[in-house]
Amino acid sequence: MNPARSGRLPAKSRPLLSLWAPFLSLWAGGVACVALLVGCGSDPGAAESRNNSPARETGDRDGMVEIPGGTVRLEGRTTTVAPFLMKAKEVTNDEFAKFVEATEYVTQAEEIGNSVVFHYGRGARGEGNVHDVVDGADWRHPLGPESSIEGKGDHPVIHVSWHDASAYASWRGWRLPSGPEWVFASKGGLEDAKYPWGTELRPQRLYQMNAWQGTYPVEDSGLDGYRGPAPAGSFPANGYGLYDVAGNVWEWTAEVRAVGSGAEDRVGAVRGGSFLCRERAIPGESACRGYEIGSVQWKPLFDGNHNVGFRCAMDL
Residues in touch with Ca ion (CB under 5 A): 210, 224, 226, 275
CB of 151 to Ca ion, least distance (A): 18
Q: If you compute the radius of gyration of the chain from its CA atoms, what whole number of angstroms results?
A: 18
Cα–Cα distance measured from residue 280 to residue 201, given in angstroms and rounded to the nearest whole number: 10
Nearer to Ca ion, 210 or 307 (CB): 210
CB of 123 to Ca ion, least distance (A): 15
* Cα four-point dihedral sign 96, 42, 6, 142: negative
CB of 222 to Ca ion, least distance (A): 5
Burial bucket for residue 41 (CB in 10 Å: 0-12, 13-18, 19+): buried
CB of 169 to Ca ion, least distance (A): 27
> Residue 173 contacts by C-beta under 8 Å, 6 or more apart in sequence?
55, 56, 57, 58, 59, 60, 314
Nearer to Ca ion, 179 or 273 (CB): 273
Q: Are 294 and 278 in contact (CB under 8 A)?
A: no
Nearer to Ca ion, 113 or 203 (CB): 203
Nearer to Ca ion, 67 or 230 (CB): 230
CB of 211 to Ca ion, least distance (A): 6
Phi-psi region of 288 (alpha: psi -120 to 50; beta: other; left: phi over 0): beta
Q: 227-250: string of b/e by CB count within 10 Å (b at 16+)? A: bbbbbbbbbebbebebbbbbbbbb
Q: Are 109 and 115 in contact (CB under 8 A)?
A: yes
Nearer to Ca ion, 118 or 275 (CB): 275
CB of 239 to Ca ion, least distance (A): 23
> Residue 29 contacts by C-beta under 8 Å, 6 or more apart in sequence?
216, 285, 286, 287, 288
Nearer to Ca ion, 107 or 210 (CB): 210
Nearer to Ca ion, 2 or 274 (CB): 274
CB of 281 to Ca ion, least distance (A): 17
CB of 224 to Ca ion, least distance (A): 4
Nearer to Ca ion, 197 or 275 (CB): 275
